[in-house]
Structure 1
Amino acid sequence: MSETTDVGPMAEPTKRSRLEAISATNFRKLMPLLVIVYVISFIDRTNIGMAKEALEVDIGLSAAAYGLGAGLFFAFYALLEIPSNLIMHKVGARFWIARIMITWGIISMAMAIVWNETSFYVLRILLGAAEAGLYPGMILYITYWFPRAHRARAIGIFLLGVSLANVIGAPLGGLLLGLDGMGGLHGWQWMFIIEGLPAVLLAFVVWFWLPDKPHQAKWLTAEDKALLDQQLAAEDDGAASQSHGFKALIPVAKDKIIWLVIAIYFTHQVAVYSLSYFLPSMIRNFDDGMSNLTVGLITAIPWIAAAVGSSTLPRFGTTLRLQKMLVSGGLFSVAVGLVVAATSNNNLVLAVLGFAFAAFWFFVIQSVLFTFPGRRLSGAATAAGIAMVNMFGLLGGFLGPTIMGSLETSTGNPLAGLWFIVVLTVIGSALAWGLKGARQRATYQAETVSVS
């Protein structure tokens, strides 16, 4: 007898409570490791922010070259994102995530040998290619383990990894930069080596601990596995008749609201990654005599605010109107916070308050925006819509740091690029009022039939 017949008929309240218990168990067993992996990945992709000034002095890296190199990571990350996810689906999460971690860890450590702008560009490109698919792969992995009713919490906690990475990474980077001269190496070289090593070591933990699917989980009983499989299969029934593969992109591409979500998310990602890469240098601009550790500790403050925002406000987006208010009001608030920082007139406390107010809204906006593909689409088109929003949004991670670096080089003012972000976020705030909920069912069915 197969496992799926072991559970037998079950009353709906009992089934729901058991699924909640299973999800709670899976949450405890899986989410801490997934969050740690994402924290390490984000530290390794953004730690150049702490090394910016040292690289300018030691290898002659200009602010414009730094911004371009920071952005090149996202260009190649985005291009390889979908192929990487398809490979993971085929070979299994445990192997593919471990592979991603080993390659990105080695390349991150290799950043210690950069000697000019070209080598900086090449290694940033390779790092983006190595890490490609990690974020959407993790989101896909979560869908293997959690029914729809429990995914939002898991994804929300997973996104906290971004804030935690900045809270931990900035002070840690400041401490490691203090190793300057030890063993004949610069402090930034020690930072890249030491911060890249955990990814390689943790890859082996992922390989030995992370099951590909629930049927491999030693902590679940046979009945638990069967019930979870039944629930996930039932939720996928609607997708079975829909288009698959690249055909699923057709209804996505025809949906004007999805393109609107992409445009809004693009403005959001410009703001997030511009601050991720340039906040340490903007903080240092207020006092050149600040130690690296002090810069790191101050840099962590806005990201603590971001963690508070992401863990408190998204749950209030229960209706379409409230979600539009959170996205539009959030982006406008980001603009207000950055205006405060840009006009702080060398008042560090006021600037940090402005940065913190802006960062508070970052992951509130992101959590709400990613509900719209599910509102508008169904079946395989939902997955394609999420991937498309994320891929185009990552291009904001390329454009933001690139323009920030160019504006700093041309003006000599590290805060000059904030006005570019302010304009974009105000535009995004206005666009958010055009968001709409579910499409007419007949229209969606007609499009999915046409591509099936």
Structure 2
Amino acid sequence: MNGVAGGGGTIPPRDPETLTALCLRRLLPLLVVAYVVSFVDRTNIALAKSHLQTDLGISAAAYGLGAGLFFLTYALTEVPSNMVMHRVGARRWITRIMVSWGVISGLMAVVQGPTSFYVLRMLLGVAEAGLFPGVMLYLTYWFGAEHRARASGLFLLGVCLANVISGPLGGALLEMNGVLGLRGWQWLFILEAVPALVVAAVIWRRLPDRPRDAPWLTAEEAAGIERRISRQQLEAAPSHEGLGRALLGPQSLLTIGVYFCHQIAIYTVTFFLPGIIGGWGHLSPLSIGSLTALPWLASTAGAVFALRGRRTPLQARRVLVAGLLIMASGMLVASERQPALALLGFCISASMFFVVQALIFTYPASRLSGPRLAIGLAFTNSCGLLGGFTGPTIMGRIEQQTGSATGGLIAMTILLVVAAGLASRLRPVST
């Protein structure tokens, strides 16, 4: 029962910083694990790319389109998904999301050709829609603006860990080729779908919807957190601003533009890095997977160290702009044909992937509250994620026409410089 300690004594009141640390410890590990699983299931086709081409005749262009179609349906269904989560609660809705995407991810093992590949990728996008913006919304129930970038950055460690884990794991699963008459890529999809169902059961039992539902907070502490968040949102969000202007005003469009360019870059790397590494020589699937993990280790380090502590709005914007320029410089280095130099470039760029993403999502949260915040976060993510459709699609076409990823990486460099220019004009309402 909230408010009662073991032995019958009342829990002494804890200060806000202690409560913030407690909430981070209690919530983030479970959310990070969920995001690890989701990212593994949406991106494992990167390791299966060459096998799908060989076994099913899926071309580079068809692969790029299929990789991107996930984001198209994901983006189209995010806003309604986040609205439902705001009404029914995170525990129920995230559980539903994980069960449905786990089933569909496993069905990728029965792909027969481009058409079924496209259909299942689109269904996976619908199934998973709402997880990321839903968690971004969920964090606003628990953390004030001064701590939100850190909480978001820790959550985004799930992507880093997913790519660190999925490379070697996927490479090992691909080497199960022939076991029980199945191809290695079929084992990859089947076995990597199981954790989604397991984690869904844990979320159903362990994730509190709001502070008032957390058994590890006293009633007074939970009420204090909710009052503080509510007061901060009322002070930050201008009540006279309509939803249309909040979503399509100049600052919102700048945020969307920055995020769109960022997502083009990040998902181009996600879906094409294993193939680029595979073109460097005769490497085993396990070796390719292990090398693929290195940039994501760099992204983990960046997210951990660059998002520590509080920042003023001006400092946050400077870090955002600098992060985008570092990403651009890394992409330019990665376009070199010398493998060691290219891998270094990918590591440089990846070190800022989630520093940038965590800071981007502090902007809509500084202007909106309540149901408008649910819609605003999902709308920003939906528009930005169209970059996840655009990037792999364009990259696949460039690779098919030129036989090289160099042109695509140079295009990513230019886009990231443009994004840095847009980010320099962002003006948050608060931090």
Q: What is the TM-score when the length of structure 2 is the normalising length?
A: 0.91
What secondary structure sits across from 1:121 in the alignment?
helix
Structure 1 Cα separation of the partners of residues 168 and 409 of structure 2: 23
Kept after mapping to 2: 8 A contact 1:327/1:432: yes
Question: CA offset at residue 338 of structure 1?
Answer: 1.8
Match of residue 301 from structure 1 = 294
Question: CA offset at residue 212 of structure 1?
Answer: 1.9
Residue identity in the other structure for 1:352: L
From the CA coordinates, give the structure whose radius of gyration is larger: 1
What secondary structure sits across from 1:80 in the alignment?
helix
Match of residue 202 from structure 1 = 199
What secondary structure sits across from 2:283 in the alignment?
coil
Match of residue 350 from structure 2 = 359
Match of residue 248 from structure 1 = 243
Match of residue 120 from structure 1 = 117
Structure 1 Cα separation of the partners of residues 314 and 150 of structure 2: 21
Give the gaps of 5 or more residues in structure 1. Answer: 5-13, 440-452
Distance 1:192 1:388, change over 3 A: same
Match of residue 97 from structure 1 = 94
Structure 2 Cα separation of the partners of residues 420 and 317 of structure 1: 34
Match of residue 401 from structure 2 = 410
Counterparts of residues 289-368 of structure 1 (less than 5 Å): 289-315=282-308, 318-343=311-336, 345=337, 347-368=338-359
Residue identity in the other structure for 2:331: L
Residue identity in the other structure for 1:327: L
Question: CA offset at residue 403 of structure 1?
Answer: 0.5
Residue 72 of structure 1 is aligned with which of 50, 62, 69? 69
Counterparts of residues 102-251 of structure 1 (less than 5 Å): 102-238=99-235, 242=239, 247-251=242-246
**Residues 1-58 of structure 1, C-alpha deviation per residue, up to 9 Å, x if partnerless?**
xx99xxxxxxxxx97x523333322222221111100110011001100000000000
Question: CA offset at residue 226 of structure 1?
Answer: 3.2
1:398 maps to 2:395: no
Structure 2 Cα separation of the partners of residues 25 and 360 of structure 1: 27
Counterparts of residues 266-285 of structure 1 (less than 5 Å): 266-285=260-279
Kept after mapping to 2: 8 A contact 1:341/1:353: yes
Match of residue 8 from structure 2 = none
Match of residue 44 from structure 1 = 41
Q: How many residues align?
A: 420
Question: CA offset at residue 276 of structure 1?
Answer: 0.5
Kept after mapping to 1: 8 A contact 2:134/2:378: no
1:419 maps to 2:410: yes
Residue identity in the other structure for 1:292: P
**Residues 280-304 of structure 1, C-alpha deviation per residue, up to 9 Å, x if partnerless?**
00001111x1011100110000111
**Residues 70-99 of structure 1, C-alpha deviation per residue, up to 9 Å, x if partnerless?**
000001101100101111122221111111
Question: CA offset at residue 197 of structure 1?
Answer: 0.8
Match of residue 446 from structure 1 = none
Question: CA offset at residue 204 of structure 1?
Answer: 1.0
Structure 2 Cα separation of the partners of residues 91 and 385 of structure 1: 18
**Residues 157-206 of structure 1, C-alpha deviation per residue, up to 9 Å, x if partnerless?**
10111111111111110110010110100000000000011101211111
Structure 2 Cα separation of the partners of residues 266 and 77 of structure 1: 14
Match of residue 81 from structure 1 = 78
Distance 1:146 1:257, change over 3 A: closer
**Residues 316-341 of structure 1, C-alpha deviation per residue, up to 9 Å, x if partnerless?**
78345444433333223222222222
Q: What is the TM-score when the length of structure 1 is the normalising length?
A: 0.87
Segment drifting more, 101-110 vs 349-358 = 349-358
What secondary structure sits across from 1:145 in the alignment?
coil
Give the gaps of 5 or more residues in structure 2. Answer: 4-11
Distance 1:22 1:113, change over 3 A: same
Match of residue 445 from structure 1 = none
